[in-house]
Amino acid sequence: MPSLKNRVNSFIFTSQSQLILVLISILAFFRSMDIYFVGDEINHIESAWEGLTDLTHHYFRPVKELTLIIDRFFWGYNHAGYHMTNLILHTANTLLVFVLATRIHFERSAAFIAALLFLLHPIHSTSVYWITGRTDILCTLFYLTGLVFFINYYKSCKLMTLLFSIGSFLLALLSKEMAISFPLVITAYVMAFTSDKRQMLKHSIRSTWPFWALIVLYAVFRLIIAGPDVLTGKVHTNLEITNLIRNLSVFIGLLVIPGGHIEISNFLKSNQQVFTVLTFACLFILLFLIRVLLKRKETLFLTLFVLLTLLPVIRLAMRWYLYLPSVGFCLLVAYSIWKLQSQKGNRRKIAFLALTVILLTYSTFLIVEQSRWLKSGQISKHVTYLIAEKMATENLYSCFLLSVPAEYKETLTLIHGLESLVNLRLRSDFGYTLPAKILSATLISVRSDQDASFDQLVEHRNAAFRLSLKDSPSFFIFPDQVEIAIYHVRPEIGSKFSYSTYDIIIRGLNKAGEVDELDVIFSKPDKRFFELISDDKIRLEPID
């Protein structure tokens, strides 16, 4: 038993460490309060009650919906309040990483380093800055809480800690489905840390069976209520081994390389052979590192943590999926640095230098990501106000745009949320009481500030319009075309996408295979429209 003095010192160090982490979190993220609503955030906020009660939906995440309902009650449509909730949740996860590290035998200084790395890792920007991205933050919050309680239960065999762990796991499942990896992770913990290797399998079954039973009950419940569709979906059905290997390499690359992803992505899209070589090189390095990591139970468990938490989402590479797996990665990095600094001589200096470089790099890219989100919010706020102002001036309840900015440097702007955002502006700024219909034919991925003018129309003949981004790094995106948006299949010149009142024909591609020129042809020439042609001008005609 540790002496009273040691316990007091431990409590003081822990309290000071957690207070420092909270202060750093506030300093690093306070500017995010100014990010205006983007993307589908208003859609999710306004449909939260429906999401809370609709058991048949493909995604059943009532915990997230409940937090949005609470936020709306307190904050209404004040975006700062929603971002503050995200920041509080992210800070809570940072403190949980610290606690988890101490539970798996990290020295307190190493635990602090792990928590600090997690707090500042730039891959978390989407989850923290995107209000809807709190799904992953909530899942991680209850996932880590359940894991800490399980470790306490495994060491003490107290029933209450087991019940708390099961309850936390259930809340994680009700936050996001990727929590189904939890029984695998706690099994990996038991197998890595059990002292009696001969009884390893017996110990793991005896300790984890309630969690496997809960998984079965949850799956049966979802199948009965929502049907087999909950197990399928266009975006999660690609099980080709090459796709899985590619996604794994992408995930690892996003964790290891904290920024510059747009430039790297553009280069690899234009050089597919380089991407293939790098993929297999990374996998070879990973296999080599695993051999090294398997030698210690801490690194073994943390490696398995990363791989097992990626398992439910490996079929689709999205950066926000890395919020939970990054816990294991940050713990691994912190453990490696701590082991290095515990050595004598120059190794301690190397460890300090490595930590300094990593933290400076993380902080730099975090600031860059924050600036992008702030710019996306500014574009969203500016463009939706222009549209709403013109509609109010003309007393319109419907409009059609040729193109709008969907994203700005890989951050959400008006994708999936144009109509709800414009309606919010119409209600709040111009007193509209009835909802208006707002549509856009094309969406643009803006890659430079010069393209903020949105002046893409180069030719107009009757009901046909040619839009071009030939002289810019921006390009058109098609989120409703699964092959292009999800599976990254290159469109071909001449490809045609048909919609209810118009067709889109691809006329040009850039070096990366992205669409930079197209035609919009209306099937009903008598339909009138308005088009956003600059950042301060709108040519407007109402839809009949």
Distance CA 489, CA 513 (A): 9
- Write the pLDDT tens digit of every residue in 86-144: 999 999 999 999 999 999 988 999 999 999 999 999 999 999 999 999 999 999 999 99
pLDDT of residue 3: 67
Mean per-residue pLDDT of the chain? 85
Decide if 381 contacts 36 (C-beta within 8 A). Answer: yes
pLDDT of residue 284: 73
Mean pLDDT within 371-395 = 90
Highest mean pLDDT among 20-24, 250-254, 468-472, 484-488: 20-24
pLDDT of residue 252: 84
Q: Which comes out higher in pLDDT, residue 170 or 225?
A: 170
DSSP bridge partners of 505? 496, 519
DSSP H/E element including 531: strand 531-532
Mean pLDDT within 64-78 = 96
Burial of 5 (0-12, 13-18, 19+ CB in 10 A): exposed
5 pLDDT more than 90: no
pLDDT of residue 52: 84
pLDDT of residue 535: 34
- What are 413's two structure tokens? 């702007």
pLDDT of residue 212: 95
Distance CA 128, CA 213 (A): 32
28 pLDDT more than 60: yes
pLDDT of residue 51: 82
32 pLDDT more than 90: yes
Mean pLDDT within 220-233 = 73
DSSP H/E element including 403: strand 398-408
pLDDT band (50, 70, 90) for residue 540: very low
H helices then E strands: how many in the chain?
19, 11
Phi, psi of 232 (to 5 degrees): -130, 170
pLDDT of residue 536: 36
The pTM of this model reads 0.90
Q: Which residue has the tokens 């709040």?
A: 428
Q: Which comes out higher in pLDDT, residue 472 or 1?
A: 472
The secondary structure of residue 227, as a DSSP letter, is -
Closest C-alpha among 343, 358, 370, 435 to residue 396: 435
- Write the pLDDT tens digit of every residue in 351-371: 899 999 999 999 999 999 999
Mean pLDDT within 251-266 = 77
Q: pLDDT over 90 for what percent of the chain? A: 49
- What are 216's two structure tokens? 């079965």
39 pLDDT more than 80: yes
Cα–Cα distances in angstroms (integers) from residue 195 to residues 200, 208, 297, in the given order: 8, 17, 11
- What are 39's two structure tokens? 């993307």
498 pLDDT more than 70: yes
532 pLDDT more than 50: no
pLDDT of residue 533: 32
Closest C-alpha among 509, 486, 507 to residue 496: 507
- Write the pLDDT tens digit of every residue in 173-203: 999 999 999 999 999 999 888 877 677 778 7
Q: Which comes out higher in pLDDT, residue 89 or 240?
A: 89
Closest C-alpha among 490, 494, 496 to residue 512: 490
Decide if 404 contacts 380 (C-beta within 8 A). Answer: no
Q: Which comes out higher in pLDDT, residue 60 or 42?
A: 42
Burial of 433 (0-12, 13-18, 19+ CB in 10 A): exposed
Helix intervals (H) in 294-417: 297-310, 325-341, 346-394
- What's the length of the chain? 544
pLDDT of residue 289: 66
- Gyration radius from the chain CA atoms: 25
pLDDT of residue 538: 43
Q: pLDDT over 70 for what percent of the chain? A: 86
- Write the pLDDT tens digit of every residue in 276-328: 777 677 667 767 666 666 677 888 899 999 999 999 888 887 889 999 999 99
pLDDT of residue 499: 87
Q: Which residue has the tokens 């990727």?
A: 178
The secondary structure of residue 409, as a DSSP letter, is T
pLDDT of residue 274: 73
9 pLDDT more than 80: no
Instruction: Give a three-class secondary structure readout of 436-501.
Output: CEEEEEEEEEECCHHHHHCCCEEEEECCEEEEECCCCCCEEECCCCHHHHCCCCCCCCCCEEECCC
